[in-house]
């Protein structure tokens, strides 16, 4: 039986759980500085954006505000990614926990890819690399 693809909400719930585990794995407050407020912003941004993902999936035209809310959620995730990727202390203390957090970020960004505007997709691929042949073709077409 073929596994049903996860929704963006399910991907975000898994990402949020992974980030919570990562925050709990810190040895001191100096690890992942700023992660809690960044995660709060990401949670609120995703909460506002979630109703618009199904409309996008159906091919409905999004308003500028709906598009902006999806973009804001993406940028909020970029902030979280910046904090996790630049973390040095946990790399020495808890490398496995940090790597699981990085994997959760890559998975969340991969799930977000279909919802990105062309300019965001180009940024995404510059940072994370293209995820598949369709992304590569899309970049070359734009």
pLDDT score recorded for residue 72: 94
130: left (phi over 0), alpha (psi -120 to 50) or beta: beta
Instruction: Tell me the pLDDT of the chain (142 aa) as tens digits.
Output: 566 678 999 999 999 999 999 999 888 888 899 999 999 999 999 999 999 999 988 989 999 999 999 999 999 999 999 999 888 888 878 889 899 999 999 899 888 888 877 666 666 666 666 555 554 444 444 4
From 48, 49, 20, select the one nearest 35 (Cα to Cα). Answer: 20
Between helices 95-112 and 118-128, what is the axis angle to 10°? 150
In a domain, 142, yes or no: no
Domain limits for position 45: 8-22+33-116
In a domain, 107, yes or no: yes
In a domain, 140, yes or no: no
Report the domain count for the chain. 1
In a domain, 96, yes or no: yes
In a domain, 37, yes or no: yes
In a domain, 76, yes or no: yes
């Amino acid at each position: 039986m073929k596994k049903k693809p996860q929704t963006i909400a399910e991907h975000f719930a898994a990402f949020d759980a992974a980030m919570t585990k990562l925050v709990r794995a810190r040895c001191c407050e100096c690890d992942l500085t700023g992660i809690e407020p960044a995660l709060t912003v990401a949670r609120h941004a995703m909460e506002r954006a979630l109703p618009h993902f199904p409309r996008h999936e159906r091919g409905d035209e999004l308003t500028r505000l709906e598009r902006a809310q999806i973009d804001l959620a993406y940028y909020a995730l970029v902030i979280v990614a910046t904090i996790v990727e630049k973390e040095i202390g946990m790399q020495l203390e808890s490398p496995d926990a940090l790597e699981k957090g990085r994997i959760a970020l890559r998975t969340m960004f991969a799930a977000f890819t279909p919802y990105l505007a062309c300019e965001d997709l180009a940024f995404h691929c510059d940072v994370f690399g293209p995820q598949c042949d369709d992304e590569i073709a899309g970049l070359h077409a734009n």
